[in-house]
């Protein structure tokens, strides 16, 4: 058997996906693996988000790497700080940090002579055979376009840029937004503040999901019986990634109905005041937006010092928020829970592929990829969490591992000399993306009667329109006929 070709791989982003990729590439025998990270620390989303009440909305024992089970999760749904510590521990246990170059944001990728030249804020980093983008989608905060935002004289910050120097004790705090982040913050701070105003544009479906502590004896049991952790992982995957996924893509109407009934019951039983309950009642299908998992929000928003404001915001003034009914909501602190732009991918870098075409040009009418992984005319450039990946209430770590398993097989074709470049055929990619558009109307995102951050600016839904089982099947092995010949 011929020796494998020596390859060099650049990875962009030292979040969970990038760390996992680096470890697996090195373990596969690739000696030159460099991970470029724009910040001074690893962790990605779990490094950047540190707001009060932060927990993952995926069960702890599903939100982990398959190769690094963790018996020590403290709660059913893990706090963000615990997930950050987990990612750091996995990196340390596998000596991943020696592959990371911190404070090195990738500013340009240019493909020439079958290699990618990588430029970062630290300058030219040389050429690599393969580039893996693991930049994630939840790291570009969106700030609301509200007149007078800059005039507010109190403390104002985005939830992803939490200012821990600001005490909320006894303060009048405004929260703009009603998504998962806002809901978690409200539950965490309501007992500390003098008054809390939550400004709601759209009510959200909330699933009652108690976040119970894990008993010490249970942790000890998992340490002694790792096979039971594996069984729990499989069970949770079947429920969350397979059951939930089938429901929201129109493949399991009964499961979607049960989700709807569960959320409605949560609201009906959890909110006593009929007027407040009516304000919190969504008029779209559960699952159309990212489903919120919480048992703290409804009790919190009913506290005497909490107020749900449904009048639209007219402007922001030095003293607070002015709503269209003319009322000024006086505030000391304003928190912007207005989410992220999940459609930017590598938009901050200049990515130049074959014949001088840039990725921004290729995606000028919307992001697309072949099976979420790669794009025609950009050889040997692979994406974790790429266009139309399963997003929402899924385990990103599980999704990313499935994608990396496929990427690793594509890299294997290069190492074995079966292909000199890996790039999908344009017509095959176009057909795949047409099938996505054809399937999307059957999903709850398109048919459920809501607008959400899943939509890009062209009106395309950015998620996977089929079951998670199909996702796993599609990424089980490359179909060589779908790629350009060597």
Residue-range domains of the chain with CATH: 8-140+341-482 (3.50.50.60), 149-204+289-336 (3.50.50.60)
- How does pLDDT run across 413-452, given as a tens digit for each residue? 999 999 999 999 999 999 999 999 999 999 999 999 999 9
The stretch 348-369 carries a mean pLDDT of 96
Q: Write the Ramachandran bin of 366: left for phi over 0, alpha for psi from -120 to 50, otherwise beta.
A: left
Q: Is the pLDDT of residue 486 over 70?
A: no
Q: Is the pLDDT of residue 304 over 90?
A: yes
8 Å CB contact between 392 and 409 = no
Choose between 102 and 246: higher pLDDT: 102
How far apart (Å, rounded) are the C-alpha atoms in residues 23 and 411?
Answer: 15
- Sign of CA pseudo-dihedral 20, 23, 27, 33: positive
- How does pLDDT run across 57-68, given as a tens digit for each residue? 999 999 999 999
Confidence of residue 482 (pLDDT cuts 50, 70, 90): very high
Residue 139 main-chain phi, psi, to 5 deg = -145, 5
The stretch 174-201 carries a mean pLDDT of 98
8 Å CB contact between 359 and 366 = no
Report the pLDDT value the prediction gives residue 134, as an integer from 0 to 100.
97
Classify 364 as helix, strand or coil.
coil
Which pTM value belongs to this model? 0.96
Terminal Cα-to-Cα distance of the chain (whole angstroms)? 20
Confidence of residue 485 (pLDDT cuts 50, 70, 90): confident
- How does pLDDT run across 99-128, given as a tens digit for each residue? 999 999 999 999 999 999 999 999 999 999
Q: Is the pLDDT of residue 1 over 60?
A: no
CB atoms within 10 A of CB 292: 23
Q: Return the closest-CA partner of residue 290 out of 444, 438, 466, 139.
A: 444
The stretch 73-84 carries a mean pLDDT of 97
Q: Name residue, tokens 């030095």.
A: 318
DSSP state letter for 240: I
The stretch 298-320 carries a mean pLDDT of 98
Beta strands in 187-248 (DSSP E): 195-199, 206-207
Q: Return the closest-CA partner of residue 410 out of 398, 428, 420, 422.
A: 422
């Amino acid at each position: 058997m011929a020796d494998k070709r020596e390859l060099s791989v650049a990875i962009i982003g030292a979040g969970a996906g990038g760390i996992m990729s680096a470890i697996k590439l090195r373990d596969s025998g690739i000696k030159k693996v460099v991970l470029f990270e724009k910040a001074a620390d690893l962790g990605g989303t779990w490094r950047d988000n540190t707001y009060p009440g932060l927990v993952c909305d995926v069960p702890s024992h599903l939100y982990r790497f398959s190769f690094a089970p963790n018996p020590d999760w403290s709660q059913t749904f893990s706090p963000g700080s615990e997930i950050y510590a987990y990612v750091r521990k996995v990196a340390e246990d596998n000596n991943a940090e020696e592959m990371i170059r911190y404070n090195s944001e990738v500013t340009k990728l240019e493909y020439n002579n079958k290699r990618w030249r990588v430029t970062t804020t630290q300058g030219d980093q040389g050429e690599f055979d393969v580039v893996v983008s693991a930049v994630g989608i939840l790291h570009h905060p969106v700030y609301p376009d509200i007149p007078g935002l800059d005039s507010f004289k109190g403390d104002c910050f985005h939830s992803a840029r939490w200012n821990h120097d600001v005490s909320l004790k006894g303060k009048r705090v405004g929260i703009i937004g009603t998504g998962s982040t806002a809901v978690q913050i409200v539950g965490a701070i309501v007992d500390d503040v003098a008054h809390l105003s939550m400004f709601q544009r759209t009510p959200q479906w909330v699933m009652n999901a108690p976040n119970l502590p894990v008993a010490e004896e249970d942790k000890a049991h998992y340490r002694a019986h790792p096979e039971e952790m594996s069984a729990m992982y499989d069970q949770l995957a079947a429920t969350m990634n397979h059951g939930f996924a089938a429901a929201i893509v129109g493949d399991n109407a009964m499961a979607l109905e049960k989700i709807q009934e569960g959320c409605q019951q949560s609201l009906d039983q959890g909110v006593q005041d009929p007027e407040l309950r009516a304000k919190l009642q969504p008029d779209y299908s559960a699952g159309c937006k990212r489903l919120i998992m919480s048992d703290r929000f409804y009790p919190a928003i009913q506290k005497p010092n909490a107020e749900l404001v449904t009048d639209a915001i007219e402007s922001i003034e030095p003293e607070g928020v002015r709503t269209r009914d003319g009322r000024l909501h006086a505030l000391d602190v304003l928190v912007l829970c207005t989410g992220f732009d999940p459609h930017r991918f590598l938009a901050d870098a200049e990515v130049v592929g074959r014949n001088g075409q840039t990725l921004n040009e290729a995606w000028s009418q919307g992001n697309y990829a072949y099976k979420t992984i790669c794009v025609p005319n950009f050889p040997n450039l692979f994406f974790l969490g790429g266009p139309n990946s399963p997003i929402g209430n899924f385990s990103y770590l599980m999704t990313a591992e499935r994608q990396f398993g496929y990427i690793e097989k594509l890299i294997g074709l290069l190492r074995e000399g079966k292909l000199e470049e890996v790039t999908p055929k344009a017509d095959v990619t176009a057909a795949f993306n047409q099938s996505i558009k054809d399937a999307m109307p059957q999903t709850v995102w398109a048919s459920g009667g809501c607008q959400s951050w899943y939509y890009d600016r062209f009106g395309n839904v950015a998620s996977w329109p089929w079951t998670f089982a199909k996702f796993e099947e599609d990424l089980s092995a490359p179909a060589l006929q779908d790629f350009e010949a060597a």
